[in-house]
């Protein structure tokens, strides 16, 4: 197992390298630069800044330089927030994003599996149709629509929740962002779980369990649920990615000081190193999460063995 984990992490390096390379060059293709301000800088100042940040060098040299630093764990200084390195900015904002993301993931996974299983057990009933209609709605409405609507209804109209900001990070501040981030994924989980649960409930080994007089509770929770979770687990990888990219939108809408917001600000201001830093962070995170999914697979299904 350990060898498998190490091998998987090693094989992720080329992926991350490609992501870094593509982002690096794509960003340079975008017009403008970090020092194109509304009021142009004095040419001499601009010249000095460019020299300080190596922007006067050919692109390939800059790229090599970035890779070299990255290889040593150095994400470089921020172009815009001049008093901070990118690593510091990420370290400051990551806890906020982690809290938000973790809650959203928990809500999506456990909520989705519970709702999906319930709908499967009541297949073709009113409850089933109702749940699945809401789930379809959750999938079709993107979070950049959902987040402002929730904010408008609960903050502006009803005045029950704050419209944004982290505050003390309590339930009041987190509720709307977590829901906005979790709901679309919860809907997907509910649908996947419902489908695989219905299939599993028809399986031969479930018939065996019933034929041997096991109570419905045992049949469903012990025998059906575990098999039905396998497809849901395989969707955890994409969900983790979706929560990460979704947090970019949600953090911006609710004005939360997380990594996602720095990503947006960095992109808008052409803060090359900041954007690159968040890209690296996100790709590492997705790789690690996919690895976790594979390990979970082996835990759920004894037939899965990794060398």
Partner 1 sequence: MADTLLDIRGLNVRFSTPTGDVHAVKGIDLQVSKGETLAIVGESGSGKSQTMMAIMGLLASNGRAEGSAKFQGQEMVGLPLGKLNQIRGAKITMIFQEPMTSLDPLYKIGKQLAEPMMQHRGLSAKAARAKAIELLKLVKIPDPERRVDSYPYEMSGGQRQRVMIAMALANDPELLIADEPTTALDVTIQAQILELLAELKQRIGLAIVFISHDLGIVRRFSDRVAVMRTGEVVETGTVADIFANPQHPYTKMLLAAEPTGRKAPPPDNAPVLLEGRDVDVRFSMGGGFMGGKKLDIHAVDHVDIRLKEGQTIGIVGESGSGKSTLGRALLRLNHGTGAIRFGTDDISEASRQEMRRHRRQMQLVFQDPFGSLSPRMTAGQIVTEGLLVHEPQLSKSDRDLRAIKAFMEVGLDPATRNRYPHEFSGGQRQRIAIARAIILKPQVVVLDEPTSALDRSVQKQIVELLRDLQAKHGLSYLFISHDLAVVRALSDYIVVMKSGKIVEEGSTDQIFDAPREGYTRELMAAAFGK
Task: Report the interface residues with partner 1, using CB under 8 A.
Answer: 7, 11, 123, 203-205, 207-216, 218, 223, 226-227, 300-303, 307
Q: Where are the alpha helices (DSSP H) in 30-85?
A: 43-52, 59-71
Backbone angles phi, psi at 306, to 5 degrees: -110, 135
For partner 1, give the closer residue by CB, 228 or 274: 228
CB of 186 to partner 1, least distance (A): 25
CB of 18 to partner 1, least distance (A): 17
CB of 280 to partner 1, least distance (A): 23
Closest alpha carbon to 278 in 9, 27, 51: 27
CB of 8 to partner 1, least distance (A): 8
Q: What is the dihedral of CA 56, 59, 64, 69, to 10 degrees?
A: 50
Measured from the Cβ of residue 216, the count of other Cβ atoms closer than 10 Å reads 11
CB of 114 to partner 1, least distance (A): 20
CB of 44 to partner 1, least distance (A): 54
For partner 1, give the closer residue by CB, 43 or 212: 212
For partner 1, give the closer residue by CB, 7 or 65: 7
CA distance 177 to 103: 10
For partner 1, give the closer residue by CB, 60 or 299: 299
- Partners of 85 in the β-ladder: 77
DSSP-based three-state secondary structure for 282:
helix
Tokens (6 digits) for 288: 């690690």
Tokens (6 digits) for 170: 């309590």
Determine contact, residues 279/19, Cβ cutoff 8 Å. Answer: yes
List, as one string, the DSSP characters of 224-262. Answer: IHHHHHHHHHHTHHHHHHHHHHHHHHHHHHTT--SHHHH
- The secondary structure element, H or E, covering residue 142 is none
For partner 1, give the closer residue by CB, 132 or 161: 132
CB of 303 to partner 1, least distance (A): 5
Beta strands in the chain (DSSP E): none
For partner 1, give the closer residue by CB, 42 or 204: 204
Kindly calculate the radius of gyration of the chain based on its CA atoms and give it in whole angstroms.
24
For partner 1, give the closer residue by CB, 82 or 217: 217
CB of 119 to partner 1, least distance (A): 15
For partner 1, give the closer residue by CB, 119 or 186: 119
Our CA angle for 160, 186, 146, nearest 5°, is 45
């Amino acid at each position: 197992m350990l060898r498998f984990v190490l091998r998987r992490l090693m094989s992720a390096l080329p992926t991350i390298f490609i992501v870094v390379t593509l982002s690096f060059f794509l960003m340079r293709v975008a017009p403008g630069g970090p020092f194109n301000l509304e009021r142009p800088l004095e040419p001499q100042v601009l010249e000095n800044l460019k020299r300080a940040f190596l922007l006067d060098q050919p692109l390939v040299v800059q790229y090599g330089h970035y890779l070299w630093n990255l290889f040593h764990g150095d994400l470089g200084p921020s172009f815009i927030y001049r008093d901070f390195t990118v690593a510091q900015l990420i370290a400051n904002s990551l806890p906020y994003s982690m809290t938000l993301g973790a809650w959203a993931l928990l809500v999506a996974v456990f909520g989705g599996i519970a709702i999906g299983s319930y709908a499967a057990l009541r297949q073709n009933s009113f409850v089933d149709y109702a749940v699945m209609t809401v789930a379809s709605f959750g999938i079709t409405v993107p979070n950049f629509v959902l987040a402002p609507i929730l904010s408008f209804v609960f903050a502006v109209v009803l005045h029950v929740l704050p419209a944004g900001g982290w505050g003390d990070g309590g339930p009041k501040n987190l509720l709307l962002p977590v829901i906005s981030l979790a709901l679309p994924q919860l809907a997907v989980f509910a649908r996947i779980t419902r489908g695989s649960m219905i299939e599993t409930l028809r399986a031969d080994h479930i018939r065996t369990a019933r034929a041997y007089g096991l109570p419905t509770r045992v049949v469903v929770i012990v025998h059906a649920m575990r098999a039905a979770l396998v497809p849901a687990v395989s969707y955890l990888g994409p969900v983790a990615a979706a929560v990460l990219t979704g947090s970019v939108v949600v953090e911006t809408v609710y004005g939360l000081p997380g990594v996602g917001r720095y990503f947006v600000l960095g992109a808008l201001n052409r803060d090359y190193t900041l954007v690159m830093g968040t890209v690296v962070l996100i790709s590492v995170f997705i790789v690690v999460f996919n690895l976790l999914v594979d390990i979970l697979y082996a835990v759920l299904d004894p037939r899965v063995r990794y060398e």
